[in-house]
Chain A
């Protein structure tokens, strides 16, 4: 499959619509599954990994799904393509970098489903939705899980549930993550307060690209930590009620900002846009911070003529691998920062944002 064709498209999670999309970027649910009576990926020989890959690949290929899945063998991809898939959130950073041997990913055209094979667990099923839509994400992945289970016997125990390579995932094997954009709580320095409640109920906050990544541009991922002793539905309900609260706080903070400090917010947004439109060097961190302010401006209607979707597109296109694909040559260091700035200038001028 030609990955370059994906560059011009936006994956499901960046579509910019869906419920509560002023605050919630996307919803993602993943299930960790392993085949019964085979060693887990990290203890499997290359031969065993190849066998598992072939077995699961065959099961995936014959699934009765409305949208066909394409399988990409990650092991044979050059580093830039692996990074490209990480940026689109189709594979994990571990799958791109740390893990080795036969492994791959199947996903649909919409990029709403991604099935990783031979990740830390032999199967990591993911479903993505833009906006806040836990039910749709769960229904989709629950269905695919049933279909695969009819072809492959999963490792399961009555006491411990679905057996996973790391005991932190055992039980349901489910991690539901909601990506939030909380610039107003960030400006009001209320983030910590808003998150304090999360720890008590075993929810985790992470940066944009998952475990260990920094929270940039006031984007946060909130997910459940506990997978044993609580059903999928109960976990989803817990997350739902917390996210609803945080959305409420963020909206309150936004309207307070508009009431009390409209001029300041407008200035911040305008300066961010101005910098993006005229800078000649731009790191990805700075891009993220500035686009975060612009995204806030779009939702507060402080910027005309710029769609939320365009902001998302700039966000993904300025990631290192995407940028290099768009430019058509490998870039590093200063050359990459210059290319990023040039890309942002051109796109924002074409969009006529002011």
Chain B
């Protein structure tokens, strides 16, 4: 007999009576595990899969245990990220490449472990210092978002414009030196266009 959910052989056979209707289940061991809470024998209704540095973690919990473990809070959609990570990966630290999990921000002295425990970062620099560890998490929380889209502070915009202009001017210089006049004309137009956009 095959498992009802996958092609593996069924080794677990269950009989459930729900609302006076008898239901039989034939499952392989892995699918059976998913049906029951890992902490008690209640049916699992909260299923979580997390990838951290190529390591896959799976959790199957009933709602009560998920609450007890602080994975879900009273607001229905909010997941407690640090509790979730703690529960799935326990004390086994993920093996980072550029940034080790025992990394400490040189600016504010916050260790990455502090973020893991509290869910709050120490200072704006942490985003760069812990980037390899944070990026997958941020991507997950924000539904596979890439980069920031939206409002940019005016100061930042102006700085970017200046950097862009400096960059174009350098390119123009080398184009002129290399006697690439068509390219130089194109670059000059671009610089002029920037000038027109320049905010007072």
Instruction: Provide the B114-134 mask, 1 if CB < 8 A to any CB of A, else 0.
Output: 100011111110011000001
State the CA gap A202–B145 with chains docked (Å): 12
Instruction: Provide the B132-162 mask, 1 if CB < 8 A to any CB of A, else 0.
Output: 0010011001111111111111111000100
State the CA gap A168–B118 with chains docked (Å): 13
- Of B73, B76, B128, B142, the contact of A171 (CB 8 Å cutoff): B142
Nearest A residue to B124 via CB reads A155
Q: How many CB-defined contacts (below 8 Å) exist between A and B? A: 133
A21-80 CB contacts (< 8 Å) to partner B:
34, 36-40, 42-43
A305 adjacent to chain B (CB < 8 Å) = no
* Chain A nearest CB, measured from B89 CB (Å): 17
Contact B124 A37 (CB under 8 A): yes
B81 adjacent to chain A (CB < 8 Å) = yes
A213 adjacent to chain B (CB < 8 Å) = yes
B197 adjacent to chain A (CB < 8 Å) = no
Contact A38 B74 (CB under 8 A): no
With A202-B143, A204-B78, A211-B75 in contact, is A160–B120 under 8 Å at CB?
no
A234 partner residues in chain B, CB cutoff 8 A? 149
Contact A166 B121 (CB under 8 A): yes
Contact B155 A153 (CB under 8 A): yes
B160 partner residues in chain A, CB cutoff 8 A? 158
A315 adjacent to chain B (CB < 8 Å) = no
B41 adjacent to chain A (CB < 8 Å) = no
A34 partner residues in chain B, CB cutoff 8 A? 124
Interface size, chain B (Cβ < 8 Å): 39
B86-122 CB contacts (< 8 Å) to partner A:
108, 110, 114, 118-122
B77 adjacent to chain A (CB < 8 Å) = yes
B114 partner residues in chain A, CB cutoff 8 A? 43
Nearest B residue to A165 via CB reads B120
A330 adjacent to chain B (CB < 8 Å) = no
Contact A43 B141 (CB under 8 A): no
Contact B138 A228 (CB under 8 A): yes
State the CA gap A155–B124 with chains docked (Å): 6
A97 adjacent to chain B (CB < 8 Å) = no
* Chain A nearest CB, measured from B140 CB (Å): 10
A42 partner residues in chain B, CB cutoff 8 A? 118, 120
* Chain A nearest CB, measured from B163 CB (Å): 11
Counting chain B CB atoms within 10 Å of each CB, which of A42, A43, A145 scores highest? A43
With A158-B148, A202-B143 in contact, is A167–B137 under 8 Å at CB?
yes
Contact A149 B155 (CB under 8 A): yes
B144 partner residues in chain A, CB cutoff 8 A? 229
* Chain B nearest CB, measured from A282 CB (Å): 24
A289 partner residues in chain B, CB cutoff 8 A? none
Instruction: Provide the A162-173 mask, 1 if CB < 8 A to any CB of B, else 0.
Output: 110111101110
- Of A166, A206, A230, the contact of B75 (CB 8 Å cutoff): A206
- Of B120, B127, B143, B152, the contact of A120 (CB 8 Å cutoff): B120
B148 partner residues in chain A, CB cutoff 8 A? 157-162, 171-172, 228-229
The 9 A-B residue pairs whose C-beta atoms are closest, nearest first, are A229-B145, A161-B148, A155-B124, A231-B150, A228-B142, A228-B145, A43-B122, A163-B124, A39-B123
Q: A167-B121, A225-B77 are in contact. List 4 more A-B contacts (CB 8 A).
A: A43-B121, A154-B153, A156-B153, A160-B147
What are 30 A-B contacts defined by CB distance under 8 Å? A38-B123, A39-B110, A40-B121, A43-B108, A43-B110, A43-B114, A43-B123, A142-B151, A146-B154, A149-B155, A153-B153, A154-B153, A156-B156, A159-B147, A162-B148, A168-B81, A171-B150, A199-B77, A204-B77, A211-B73, A211-B75, A213-B74, A213-B75, A226-B142, A228-B138, A228-B142, A229-B145, A229-B146, A230-B150, A231-B150
